[in-house]
Amino acid sequence: MRIMLSSNRIIMSDGVIMLNSRKILFRHFVSHTNYVLCSVLILMAISNPVAAQVPLTETAVEPASLGNGPGGGDFKAGVQAPSPPVSSALRSIFSASAAPERKTMGLLQRSFVEVAQQTEDNLEIALVIDGTDSMADEIEGVKQSVDLMMEDLRRGRIGKVSVAIIVYRDSGSPSGVIEVLQDRFTDDMNSIRMSLQRLTAASGAPFFHEMPDAGVHAALEQLPWSADGRTTQWVFLFGDAPPYAENFASAEVPKASRAYATDLLIALASRKQIQIHCVLCTSSKELDPIYRQALPETRQFMNALASGTGGMMLDLSYPDIRNAITQAGRQPRFQYQQIEPITQDDLVEARAAEAAANGPPDPKTAEVRIAILPHLPIREVSFDARNPAVQVAAGLRHKLEGLPRVRVASPYDVKRQMDRLKAGGLSESILIRELAARLGVDYIVWGTLDQTGTPIVSNVFERRSGELVAKVSHAGEVTQLASVILNSPMDDKRFGSLKDSQRLVPTETITQQLQKPLAKDEATTRELLTALESLQQVIGLLVDDPQSQPLLATAQAAAEAALVSEPDNGLAYWLLANIHFNRGSRALADGNSEAAQAAMAEMKRELSRAFRFVKTIDSLSLANEIMSDHCFLVDRNLPLAIKRYEALSANPSVCPSVRRRAHWILTGIYCGDWGVEPNFVNPQAARKHAIAIMANWETSPEANLLRKWLGWDPKTNRTEHPHLPLSHSDLAKL
């Protein structure tokens, strides 16, 4: 069948569609074979649980805190990352601080950060770019961000990074099939920019299929690759369309054909030890239907090149992956502080030092890890902060994690694991044991609360056996429950001894702390517990997660309501300081400098009020942390703040969560974060505190982030990226 329309000259013949010289053709002549995506995974949901505390919690741009975090940067407020997805990709995929999690990018085994770890070698990169009109936006994206990609690749690399540039189109393009913009590898960014400025989108006629095979072959054969054996070599392919099928032939357009077989390209690259990395780009909106039809062929070709040569493939056609990359591309660009690599031996030594500081080994004085569940039937468990049964868990968590030897699982982690286990249909006893194992805790605290709100029945279960070691019934104020549990008769000496840590803190001090109320009346206490629970649930959520803002709004409303009835409550002011710090961080990440400045001003006001009423705080460790934060963030007395944080981090009588946060902020201060003066920068001290976190709080958000930033490699048991980002300097300027 042949149809011709005079105005646009559309020809339909044997499944072929052509529109003048514009490429809109999709051909169904190729055989529809099955294929395996070796390095690409469709993810229907994106989750990146990395948030930390302020000192309680901050939603994740990267975990940071009101006084917690290595960071600072050169972010220009109000300037967002360029819109083309490939621009966001080049801004982020080689950045240890900005790159999304490996699986978030659809990568099963490695990330682009990991493939760039051979920092002693020179690196030669041949950019092979589809130069047709459907790629116009993505071509601009490459131009916008290639220098940022080079900056990330050069960071920490002893060898140089150099680039050559080849453009490919199709047989009918007036510009020809191949255009060599940079015929030699150069590390001169001015030369690279000038070469890319000559790249303009041109016709991709005659068909939607292009000749990426010819582009890759030209890069492999025409460029002067080094042969010294000490140079890592990449072809980086950017395109939105597949090559012709190897058996395709067209009588109407005889020049439109496959130039080089996929197997030949793989063999040629492998022989030269050149990795081929592929970015499957988005296409122009008007060609989207044809682009979608061709996607299986494009994926098959790019995946074959990448997996066959040890390369990587980033598929920006998947909305979830594209959205994650776009979000990563919006992250501020940071300055960095170099620190020496961290090894497994360093972690072992730090654990030994921690054990020695805690005194002779004694099961009665060893740290205890606890998970606390909302006091509801397992199948009805809710995490609604307004639910009284959830507030029981929040009160227990707050009281127990203030003790010297107790680590308590976050409600974010408990909820995530509970949701997974409930779907498995396990019995309650098996579910409790499995939950304890997954959370890595020694005990589970869980119970019930009747409809009247009293009495509270609370149970303590031992991890390994799942046996009940304590059971209490409490009809009094909810935050007194921890004291009731710890003073109840029980055979389990390890749990029962938590109230008796005289070697660390006098027993009477612990008793006073456990029994000291959060507020003067029950209604105010429940508002504080609502705010506490909401903020703790923010831990782990992405900065743009739809749940984070409602949770912060709930926390703010509850804390403000508590202050209406009790205007001298230091805990409520501390909670508000956390909330405003989160809002400021979010606003800065969004480029809204005015909102960020207003939020940070509110944070300092609320922190000052928390400091003024610090004697009302029920936890001695938290009170000392608030005084340290005020000294640092409000008074800007850095020498005294460092002295206070050092004392908190080294004192085993301080509760573990406060010690961890002290280590975290000291890591940032000694890196030069928060705009501290150069004379306070001490990379060795920063490394020491980073090691302490990674060794002794290995599952914490801070440790996870340090492993990501520093590139912890489980194969070599060491960090491979010797730089920490300075991610809070812009906040410090507000």
For 317-333, write each residue's pLDDT tens digit.
Answer: 999 899 889 888 887 78
* Domain final position from 502, 526, 548: 502
203 & 100 share domain? yes
Gap between the Cα atoms of 509 and 526, Å rounded: 25
Q: Has residue 375 got a pLDDT over 50?
A: yes
| Sign of the torsion angle spanned by Cα atoms 318, 324, 328, 329 | positive
Average of pLDDT values for 336-355?
A: 93
Q: What percent of the chain has pLDDT over 90?
A: 52
Give the span between the Cα atoms of 223 and 182, in whole angstroms: 9
Task: Please tell me the distance from the alpha carbon of residue 16 to that of residue 734, in angstroms, as a whole number.
Answer: 60
Q: Is residue 104 part of a domain?
A: yes
Residue range(s) defining the domain that contains residue 285: 10-30+82-314
Encoded amino acid at 74, one letter: D
Query: Is 186 a member of any domain?
Result: yes
In a domain, 508, yes or no: no
Statement to judge: residues 188 and 292 lie in one domain:
yes
Residue 45 has pLDDT above 70, yes or no: no
Cα separation, 107 vs 123, whole angstroms: 22
Strand partners, 493: none
- % of residues, the chain, pLDDT over 70: 83
Residues 191 and 121 in one domain: yes
CA distance 95 to 93: 6
Whole-angstrom distance, CA of residue 146 vs CA of residue 285:
24
The verdict on 295 and 368 lying in the same domain is: no
The answer to whether 335 and 729 are in contact (CB under 8 A) is yes
CA distances from 453 to 333, 375, 476, 705 (A): 50, 11, 10, 40
Q: Is residue 619 part of a domain?
A: no
CA 95/CA 81 separation, integer angstroms: 14
Burial class (CB in 10 A: 0-12, 13-18, 19+), 434: middle
Is the same domain home to 289 and 171?
A: yes
Q: Alpha-carbon torsion 213, 218, 223, 227, what sign? A: positive
Q: Looking at residue 627, what is its pLDDT?
A: 97
In this structure, is residue 384 part of a structural domain? yes
CB of 14 within 8 A of CB of 29?
A: yes
Residue 50 has pLDDT above 50, yes or no: no
In this predicted model, what pLDDT tens digit does every residue of 199-222 receive, in sequence order? 988 876 667 888 999 999 999 999
Do both 434 and 497 map to the same domain? yes
Of 56, 67, 66, the closest CA to residue 581 belongs to: 66
> Which of 107-116, 269-278, 515-524, 680-689 has the least mean pLDDT?
107-116
Q: Please check whether residues 305 and 454 belong to one and the same domain.
A: no
377 found inside a domain:
yes
What is the reported pLDDT for 203? 74
- pLDDT of 155: 86
Closest CA to 586 of 558, 555, 557, 552: 552
Q: 200 with 301, same domain?
A: yes
Angstrom distance (rounded) from CA 530 to CA 567: 17
What is the CATH classification number for the domain harbouring 423? 3.40.50
231 forms beta bridges with: 122
Rounded to whole angstroms, the Cα distance separating 108 from 111 reads 8
- Domain limit, last residue, from 502, 534, 559: 502
Most confident segment among 201-215, 426-440, 670-684: 670-684
Would you say residue 591 has pLDDT above 60? yes
- CB neighbours (10 Å) of residue 140? 18
Rg (the chain; Cα; Å): 29
What amino acid occupies position 175? S
Q: Is the pLDDT of residue 57 over 80?
A: no
DSSP secondary structure string for all residues of 644-710? HHHHHHH-TTS-HHHHHHHHHHHHHHHHTGGG--GGG--HHHHHHHHHHHHHHSTTSHHHHHHHHHH
Residue 61 has pLDDT above 50, yes or no: no
**Is it the case that residue 710 has pLDDT exceeding 50?**
yes
Q: Between β-strands 122-130 and 161-168, what pairing exists: parallel, antiparallel or unpaired?
A: parallel
Instruction: Give me the CATH number covering residue 298.
Output: 3.40.50.410
Q: What tokens does 179 get? A: 């255009």
Q: Do residues 273 and 382 share a domain?
A: no
Are the CB atoms for 389 and 374 separated by under 8 Å? Answer: yes
Q: Residues 391, 288: one domain?
A: no
3-state SS assignment for residue 724? strand
> How many domains, in total, are found in the chain?
2
Nearest alpha carbon to residue 723 among 94, 163, 277, 101 = 94
Q: Which residues pair with 123 in a beta bridge?
A: 161, 232
* Strand ranges, E, within 219-274: 231-239
* Residue 592 clears pLDDT 90, i.e. is over it: no
Q: Are residues 300 and 437 in the same domain?
A: no
Last residue of a domain, one of 276, 293, 314: 314
Mean pLDDT of the chain: 83
Name which residue leads in pLDDT, 501 or 358.
358
Worst-scoring range by mean pLDDT, 101-115, 142-156, 256-270, 390-404?
Answer: 101-115
Q: Which helix (H) or strand (E) holds 394?
A: helix 388-400
Which among 30-39, 201-210, 585-594 has the top mean pLDDT? 585-594
- Distance, CA of 166 to CA of 212 (rounded, Å): 10
For tokens 């140079």, the residue is: 231
Do residues 408 and 283 share a domain?
Answer: no
pLDDT in the model for residue 540: 66
**Judging by DSSP bridges, how do beta strands 16-19 and 10-13 pair with one another?**
antiparallel
pLDDT at 26: 35
- CA atoms of 290 and 208, how far apart (whole Å): 8
Asked whether residue 60 is domain-assigned, the answer is no
| Cβ atoms < 10 Å from Cβ of 351 | 15
Q: What is the 3-state composition of the chain as percent helix, strand, coil, each rounded to the nearest 5?
A: 45, 15, 40
Give the whole-angstrom CA distance, residue 31 versus residue 482.
68
501 contacts 516 by C-beta, under 8 angstroms: no
pLDDT in tens, 73-106: 333 333 444 469 999 999 999 988 888 876 555 5
Supply the pLDDT for residue 190. 95
Look at residue 491 and tell me if it is in a domain.
Answer: yes
